[in-house]
Amino acid sequence: MLDIRLIRENPDFVRGRLATRGGGDETRIDELVRIDAERRKAETALQALNAERKKLSKEIGAKRTRGDDAGELENRVRAIGDDIALLNEQTTAADKEQRDLLLQIPNLPHPEAPLGKDASANPVVREWGKKPDIAQPLDHVALGNRHKLFDPERAAKLSGSGFICFTGAGARLERALIQFMLDLHTREHVYLELSPPFLVRRECMIGTSQLPKFEPDMYGLENGQLFLVPTAEVPVTNFYRDEILRADQLPQKFVAYTPCFRREAGSAGWETRGMIRVHQFDKVELVKITAPEDSYVELESLTANAEKVLQLLGLHYRIIELCTGDLGFGSAKTYDLEVWSPGQSAYLEVSSCSNFEDFQARRMNLRFKDSTGKNRFCHTLNGSGLALPRLFAALVESGQTTEGAIRLPDVLQPYFGAAEIR
């Protein structure tokens, strides 16, 4: 959520930054400024009336002490009380209207974010490794059928389209990848592991900005008061919501595995074939809570931690920076990690590493006390470290051999219990 003071004092700046996103949200700034002015005017009038009522109450007390008639003053106090009740209703309504509108406005892109309307304007920041030299590679669907790694037909029978049921070596490989990533991030990168609930309250979804904008894509329960987690970002980032941390507690670094649930599963086409875009998938998530002055250094570090997974697995990938028109709703700056998929002959996104600055912290009232004793909003960051099953698909496609087996990276073999899948 944006700072209303920034909007109040620099509306043109806010409009200009929002305009680079291309969503038309800058048109709402005038409405916010109007509501804010009306709310503050009502609050000023309320303060004046409360002061007047307090003054008159003292005068009434003095008159009664002297035995004088205080009826006229009492009538005035009752009238003021009615006016105060009306103004309280007005300020409450204005507060709600202002907050509801603020919740619908996205974050401001970082000033140095590349300008662009859509993903075609995303620049490549760097690449690592080389594309595997595989003549006529099979895709993960064909490999999955050959090695019985998953059973899409029975998954559909159980849950409908857009779900996976891993089987045999496929289930073991999925588990091995999760364990490998958790061990890497906890042991080498020194993140604290959490195992959070898979259901979260509505206010937590608002806190990390999934709601209200993306509610149709979420799986809600209890009349929209509980939600299946769309990502571990939600419970983990909300871990300290409504708390004030000490400066020496920052940065906080968390890693968590959860399944992720999302209604949106893509339009018809190659992306929906197999396991590239599904309603339920596994993910290891990295979350950081930092002081504002450290957050962009921590973003580079978080991105490097996610990259390390692909490097150890020996998978070719590239990093792109999202342009202003392609940024997520709450992000100020984002790097996407895209792994090469030989079977798709395309790059697949397996991580988005983002700095939300204080956008999420304001929504969840997450603060820290700085060295001067002032309470300030934290900055929050997150990124997949990494997301499955796209990683699974790229891994088996990159590991296919001319003999028909799937060769596994050395680092994964102790977790899987074998060097290859045959």
Residue 267 has pLDDT above 50, yes or no: no
Residue 272 has pLDDT above 60, yes or no: no
Most confident of 56-70, 195-209, 251-265: 195-209
Contacts of 248 (CB under 8 A, 6+ apart): none
Per-residue pLDDT band at 421 (split at 50, 70, 90) = very high
**360: helix, coil or strand?**
helix
Residue 270 has pLDDT above 50, yes or no: no
CATH code of the domain made up of 119-421: 3.30.930.10
Per-residue pLDDT band at 240 (split at 50, 70, 90) = very high
Matching residue, tokens 């102790």: 414
Cα R_g (the chain), whole angstroms: 27
Give whole-number Cα distances, 72 to 37, 46, 52, 80, in Å. 34, 22, 14, 12
Give whole-number Cα distances, 331 to 324, 340, 358, in Å. 10, 25, 10
Enzyme catalytic residues: 262, 277, 349, 352, 390
**pLDDT tens column, 151-179:** 999 999 999 999 999 999 999 999 999 99
Cis peptide before 235 (omega within 30 of 0): no
Other C-beta atoms within 10 Å of 246: how many? 9
**pLDDT tens column, 33-42:** 999 999 999 9
Alpha-carbon gap, residue 214 to 229, rounded angstroms: 13
**Per-domain residue ranges of the chain:** 4-102, 119-421
Higher per-residue pLDDT: 114 or 52: 114
Residue 410 identity: D
- The residue count for the chain: 422
Residue among 212, 207, 213, 226 nearest 289 (CA):
207
pLDDT of residue 173: 98
Q: Which H helix or E strand runs over 304?
A: helix 295-312
Give whole-number Cα distances, 353 to 102, 195, 218, 336, in Å. 24, 21, 21, 6
Contacts of 338 (CB under 8 A, 6+ apart): 317, 318, 319, 320, 347, 348, 349, 350
- Do 4-102 and 119-421 come out as alike in CATH topology? no
**pLDDT tens column, 55-91:** 888 888 887 888 888 888 888 888 988 888 989 898 9
Alpha-carbon gap, residue 379 to 290, rounded angstroms: 5
Query: What's the average model confidence in pLDDT over 111-117?
Result: 96
Residue 120 has pLDDT above 60, yes or no: yes
Query: What's the average model confidence in pLDDT over 79-108?
Result: 92
Residue 271 has pLDDT above 50, yes or no: no
Write down the mean pLDDT value for the chain.
94
Whether 238 contacts 209, CB under 8 Å: no
**pLDDT tens column, 296-350:** 999 999 999 999 999 999 999 999 999 999 999 999 999 999 999 999 999 999 9
3-state secondary structure 34-50: HHHHHHHHHHHHHHHHH
Per-residue pLDDT band at 391 (split at 50, 70, 90) = very high
pLDDT of residue 12: 96
Contacts of 336 (CB under 8 A, 6+ apart): 122, 319, 320, 321, 322, 349, 351, 352, 353
**pLDDT tens column, 403-417:** 999 999 999 999 999
pLDDT of residue 52: 86
**pLDDT tens column, 188-197:** 999 999 999 9
Report the range of poorest mean pLDDT among 71-85, 248-262, 268-282, 306-320: 268-282
Alpha-carbon gap, residue 10 to 285, rounded angstroms: 35
pLDDT of residue 402: 93
pLDDT of residue 67: 85
pLDDT of residue 237: 98
Class of the CATH domain delimited by 4-102: mainly alpha
Question: Does the global pTM surpass 0.85?
Answer: yes
Whether 192 contacts 253, CB under 8 Å: yes
